[in-house]
Chain A
Amino acid sequence: AQKITQTQPGMFVQEKEAVTLDCTYDTSDPSYGLFWYKQPSSGEMIFLIYQGSYDQQNATEGRYSLNFQKARKSANLVISASQLGDSAMYFCAMRENSGYALNFGKGTSLLVTP
């Protein structure tokens, strides 16, 4: 069964606007970690942000924040003040603390337009 679901294959946003990339997950493990990675056209995987299931506050890293809604099992990435360089594929991932497998969603392609 798919553990990570990213329902938006592609998204457009205008420069300087905010954008939300959706991610829902499925787990029965009470302890887990959620990750977002960015993959530009160069192919490298760049870590963006991490949220632990027991973290009381939503994670933030600069222009990136994670809208963590535990009861809904969603971990949406919010990018504020989009820049042209944000155009890339974005992947959501989860690791359950009962194991070490790191499961990725299928990704969302973000295009930032001038």
Chain B
Amino acid sequence: GAGVSQSPSNKVTEKGKDVELRCDPISGHTALYWYRQSLGQGLEFLIYFQGNSAPDKSGLPSDRFSAERTGGSVSTLTIQRTQQEDSAVYLCASSSDRGRAFFGQGTRLTVV
């Protein structure tokens, strides 16, 4: 696609449920990043993937969070047993090698 695509754009879920957030990066981009942004706050790094290398998971806040990237393209961020503090906008970005990162529009997650 022309840009980074994230789905869904909005997700409301009940506390305790699992959610999956999807990111479709720009074709050919080797690096893919996930960030979390709480209301009025900065970008909190979660995880990044670079080519076939092992992902850097150092930013994942708990073991309820996991992510995978299949075939070096689409990525899914999974949050298990969601909590209210997981409510935030989840942003995905991709870049070609060390170029500028292009961001998706984000998924706004609300846990009720």
Residues of A within 8 A of B (CB): 33, 35, 37, 43-45, 47, 50, 91, 93, 95, 97, 99-107
Contacts and interface: CB of A to CB of B under 8 A. Distances in A.
Contacts of B106: 43
B77 interface: no
21 contacts: A33-B98, A43-B106, A44-B103, A44-B105, A45-B91, A45-B93, A47-B101, A47-B102, A91-B43, A97-B98, A99-B56, A100-B31, A100-B48, A100-B50, A100-B56, A101-B45, A102-B33, A102-B48, A102-B95, A103-B45, A107-B42
Nearest to A35: B100
Contacts of B56: 99-101
Contacts of A91: 42-43
Interface string B32-50: 0101000001110100101
Given A43-B106, A45-B103, A104 B42 contact: yes
Interface in B12-64: 31, 33, 35, 41-43, 45, 48, 50, 56
Given A44-B105, A100-B31, A106 B42 contact: yes
B91 A47 contact: no
